[in-house]
Amino acid sequence: MQSKPTVLDLFCGCGGLSLGFIQAGFDVKLGIDAWQDAIKTYTATHQNTQGIVADLFTTTPEQISQQTQINQIDVIIGGPPCQGFSIAGKRMIDDERNQLYKSFVEFVRFYRPKAFLMENVPNMMSMGKGLIKEQITQDFEQLGYTVSS
């Protein structure tokens, strides 16, 4: 029997993206979010998946690996907070949450998954005249990944 590809979900919220991957046949090993109530819901609805409350501004992939004993992942998924990019709020290029994508990059650097999926609002593509999208793309390409959006 062939094993299912393993998944790590960053900024998982209540687990919608994890659910889609589970339904597609993946084995979601871990979901991480800073919002404790979201993780309570996540662990209640994803009983075969570990959920962790962690602030990804300060928590490193090494710390997560040590805490969970998860050292290998096939796919990393997630949606870093989008409030600074979204037209639904004050679209601010200097919103500190806009920098959380760098944590996603660090997890990709550490785990070296076969693939990753980072989702966000459409306006992230045009923020700063496209410079943010360009920087994010460059960060992943420097790790050896091909990026499409």
Annotated catalytic residue within 14, 56, 82, 118: 82
14 has catalytic annotation: no
CB 101 within 8 A of CB 80: yes
SS3 sequence of 60-94: CHHHHHHHHCCCCCCEEEECCCCCCCCCCCCCCCC
Rounded Cα distance, 116 and 7, in Å: 9
Q: Which residue numbers are catalytic?
A: 82
